[in-house]
Amino acid sequence: MELVLKALLIYHGRQPNRTHILEDLLHECERYEPMLATLLPDCVRLTPYVVATRCPDTGMHLDKEDARDALAAMRRVRIAVLALLPA
Do 32 and 8 form a contact (C-beta atoms < 8 A)?
A: yes
Do 45 and 69 form a contact (C-beta atoms < 8 A)?
A: yes
Return the DSSP state at 85: S
Question: pLDDT of 10-56, one tens digit each?
Answer: 999 999 999 999 999 999 999 999 999 999 999 999 998 887 666 66
Question: pLDDT of 51-67, one tens digit each?
Answer: 766 666 666 677 889 88
Do 77 and 25 form a contact (C-beta atoms < 8 A)?
A: no
| pTM for this predicted structure | 0.88
How far is residue 46's CA from residue 54's CA, in Å, rounded to a whole number? 13
pLDDT of residue 13: 97
Query: CB-hemisphere CA count at 13 Å for 20?
Result: 10
